[in-house]
Amino acid sequence: MSNLSYAIVRMLCQVLVSVPLGTRRGLFVLLWSLLSGRFLQSRGAVFPALAACGLTDADVRRSGAALARGRYSPQALVSAWHALVREEGHWRQHRYEGVCPVACDLVGFYRPHLVQCGTKHYCSHAGKALPALVYGISVRVGSVGATRLGIARLLLRQLPDETEADLQRRLIKETAADLTEEEALVADAGFALSEVRGRKCRYVVRMQQNSVARRNKLPDYCGKGRPPQRGEIVRPLVRKYGETTIKATSPDATARWKDGRHTLRAHLYNDLIAADEKPQAEAPFRLIVIFDPRYKKPLVLATNLMVTAHALWHLYKDRWPVEQLPLAAKQMLGAQRSFVFSEQARYRLPELALLAGNVLSYLAATARPIATGFWDRCCRPTCGRLRRALERLNFKDLPLPQEQLRQKASITSHLPKGIAAHRRHKAGLPISHDALAP
């Protein structure tokens, strides 16, 4: 465990190297509290989680101030973490027929009791949209040994005056601008195909079951009536309107492959455009329908890649590692609940939790598997096992580099302390620190 503690301290110091000295130590303590599961024990309360690390009251206040008022950019931390993983060489990016997947998605941290929370996100358990802080994330997908893992490369927060559709467009725009020639954007059905096609990047997007398209050429004139102005409609799946059944369009090609003992089939439709477009559009695409006997509904994908259906199936399956970031941050580290209310802290704590979850997953994949107990005979390198091992470590025993994480010698005697420092006041009334001082 001593070697692992050295590795954790080294990685966190490299991620925080661009943070000012006065904020660096506070963020280091916050990240360590998240990694060691202290927020899971305190059920999202920041000060109890920091105090559980064995910090003094002054250190707890400094870390809370770094979260609320520290000067740093969360995207800069994510970029530093992404560069660190690429430099180490343990993680290798997936590649299928020369195409590397880059997955993107929206993540919501629900805050139903947060006052003046103007953003919402759909909750499947509630069946409706609830007040939440929404983030757009994109990851490069690869693996460490036998563990498939996505490494965060972009983290965007939804602005108060921005809708989810606007956040999706901004996420697609910034992700597409950062793609290399070998990479392709992979997205779920929540992302509009028209937005992805407008960025002129390579993509694989899941479509709805009732999706339709048109051929990118005019059908032959039958000799009667007005000549056709649009291409033939393509329906990849059977559709029903009441008692009427509309057959699916015959595919241009078919494919078949084996996945273990299961045989998968695919129908391919080439050179298509949107249903409201006329032929000779600038960005034609393909539709691929994959029938898997393990699922009731087929998988409908839209893409502009000229690769096989087997490669497209692998590319879309690599979208799932983007779900590992919120899973590790919420369930494993306890960030699904939070008790922070300031304008910056409410956004920064989920961002740090997403980063910490990604760090914990990577450390678990690269380190030797740690058994939970004598009963765990076939332990796997999971972030849950590593978190339980870190819970037993004391923060005072960590090998901290004093030059990088030393306290900033600032004069704080003139600042309000205790309840006077964070007492809430009505909007519009001036705050007098002299009146609050004891």
At 156-192, the pLDDT tens digits run 999 888 899 999 999 999 999 999 999 999 999 989 9
Give tens-digit pLDDT for 254-264.
Answer: 999 999 999 99
pLDDT digits (tens, 9 = 90+) for 110-128: 988 888 888 888 888 888 8
pLDDT on residue 120: 87
* Contact predicate 59/50, CB 8 Å: yes
Cβ(195)–Cβ(169) below 8 Å: yes
Residue entry with tokens 């000012």: 20
Distance from C-alpha of 160 to C-alpha of 133, rounded to nearest angstrom: 9
CB 90 within 8 A of CB 305: no
SS3 labels along 348-397: HHHHHHHHHHHHHHHHHHHCCCCCCCCCCCCCCCCHHHHHHHHCCCCHHH
Q: How many CB atoms lie within 10 A of CB 30?
A: 26
d(CA 323, CA 103): 10
Burial group, residue 5, by CB count within 10 angstroms (0-12, 13-18, 19+): middle
- Full-model pTM: 0.88
pLDDT over threshold 70, residue 428: no
Core vs surface per residue 274-298: b (16+ CB within 10 A) or e = beebebeeeebbbbbbbebeeeeeb
